[in-house]
Amino acid sequence: MTYNGDATDSNCYSAAESMIVSIDSGSDILKKLWITAYWAEAQIQLQDFIAISSGLYIDCSGDKLFNTLSTIASSEGMSTAGGRVAGALPFEIGTC
């Protein structure tokens, strides 16, 4: 997702926008949950949230994000990141 005109036509942008709208409307229903008449509407909002979450995961390639994060969080990922920083430090410190 980027901040240009082409980004608004992407599936990921549409899925993220739908997620934001779903969270906003769902929070309104949660505030009224003490009224039993809203319990059915809350169930519908929950079902929509689950469906939109799966669409967001697929459209924005969530699997690639989680694979990358799990690789970085491992000990091998930390040592790789440390090695890259240590290797680049002498060359990049002058440009900072």
pTM of the model: 0.61
Tell me how far apart the alpha carbons of residues 93 and 86 are, in angstroms, rounded to a whole number: 11
At residue 25, the pLDDT reads 86
Residue 28 has, within 13 A of its CA and on its CB side, a CA count of 7
- Angstrom CA distances, 58 to 53, 62, 66, stand at 9, 6, 12
* pLDDT for 87 beyond 80: yes
Tell me how far apart the alpha carbons of residues 44 and 38 are, in angstroms, rounded to a whole number: 10
Domain boundaries, the chain: 1-60, 61-96
The predicted-structure confidence for 22-80, as pLDDT tens digits, reads as follows: 888 888 888 888 889 889 999 999 999 999 999 888 888 888 888 888 877 888 888 88
